[in-house]
A and B are shown apart, each in its own frame.
Chain A
Amino acid sequence: MTAMNRLLPQPLFSLFLLLVWLLLVNTIAPGHLVLGTLLAIALPLISSRFWPDRPRIHSPWKLLRYIAVLLWDIGLANLTVARLILGPTRRLHPAFIHLPLELENEFAIAVLASTISLTPGTVSSDLSPDRKTLLIHALDVEDEATTIATIKQRYERPLREIFESC
C-alpha cells in the first residue's frame, strides 16, 4: 500500500467531505479550505472501521450520470405523484411488488432502495433477510412486470456498473 493510499483510503469520499464542509460554511476562504482539507483527510481515517465492506466506485462518470438521471426522475416523480394525489383516489391500484435483487454490495442496495423511494410512485419497504428481494410498495401499478423491468433497467444496471463491475 502506498503512502497516498494510506492517507486517502477513499479519495472520492474525501472530496465529497471537503465540498460539504465548504458548502456548510458557505465560503471558500483559504482558512476554511485548509480546515476542510484536514477534515476530509481525518474523517475517512477515523471512520474507516464503519466501512468494513467499503464501496468501490468503478466509474465516477457513470455515478454523475446516475445522479443527473435521478434528479430528473425526482422532478418527474413529483409531478406524477401530485397528479395521482389530486386525481380520484378510488381509481388507484396500490400493490406490493417483490423486486429480485442482483446487487450484492450493501451500500449499492441502500442506494437502490433510496432511489426507489424517491422516484415515481414507489417506496421501498422491506429487504428480505438474505438480501435477495426488495419489497416495494407502489401507489399505482398497471403492470407489475413493467415496473420491475423499468427499475432494473434504469437504476439497478447502472448501479451494478458503478459499484460492482470488475
Chain B
Amino acid sequence: MLDTLIALFLVIGGAFALIGSIGLARLPDLFMRLHGPTKATTLGVGGILIASVLHFSSRGDGLSLHELLVTLFLFITAPISAYLIARAMLHLRGDDKP
C-alpha cells in the first residue's frame, strides 16, 4: 500500500520534471523558456522528495525530514538563477532599463 503511494509520488514528480524539460525544449524564446525550469521542476522535485520522505521514514529508523531542506533551498535558489539569466538577456539586448 505504502509502496503504491511512493510509486505514485515518484511518477507525479517524474512527470512534472519531464514537462519542465519539454517546456525548455519547446517554447520559442529565452524568456518563455525560463518558465519551465522555475516552476514545473519545483513540483517535480517536490514529488520525488515526498516519495523519499515516505520511503525512508517507513524503514523504521525514525522520521526522515531532511528532504524538506532540499525543497527550501530550491525555492530560494530557483528564482535567483532565473533572475540572473533574465537580467543577462536584457543586458545583451541592450535595454537595461525597464
Judged by a CB distance under 8 angstroms, whether B82 is at the interface is yes
Known: A82-B19, A89-B26, A94-B32. A123 touches B86 (CB 8 A): yes
Q: Is the CB of A23 within 8 A of B65?
A: yes
Q: A124-B79, A124-B83, A139-B35 given; name 15 further pairs at CB < 8 Å.
A: A74-B43, A81-B23, A81-B39, A85-B23, A113-B83, A114-B79, A114-B80, A118-B42, A123-B38, A125-B31, A125-B86, A126-B96, A127-B98, A128-B97, A133-B98
Known: A74-B39, A78-B39, A94-B29. A126 touches B16 (CB 8 A): no
Chain B residues near A135 (CB-CB < 8 A): 90, 98
Report B66 CB to chain A, min CB distance, Å.
Answer: 4
Contact with B along A5-20 (1 / 0, CB 8 A): 0000000000000001
Report A39 CB to chain B, min CB distance, Å.
Answer: 15
Q: Is the interface of B mostly helix, strand, loop or mixed?
A: helix
Chain B residues near A137 (CB-CB < 8 A): 31-32, 34, 86
Known: A26-B65, A85-B26, A128-B97. A117 touches B82 (CB 8 A): yes
User: How many A-B pairs with Cβ below 8 Å?
Assistant: 111
Listed in ascending order, the chain B residues whose CB lies under 8 Å from chain A are 16, 19-20, 22-23, 26-29, 31-32, 34-36, 38-40, 42-43, 62, 64-66, 68-69, 72, 75-76, 78-80, 82-83, 86-87, 89-90, 96-98
**What is the bound-complex CA distance between A159 and B78, given in angstroms?**
20
Chain A residues near B39 (CB-CB < 8 A): 74, 77-78, 81, 118-120
**Of B19, B39, B75, most A-chain CB atoms within 10 Å:** B39
**What is the bound-complex CA distance between A20 and B82, given in angstroms?**
25
**Of A74, A98, A116, most B-chain CB atoms within 10 Å:** A74
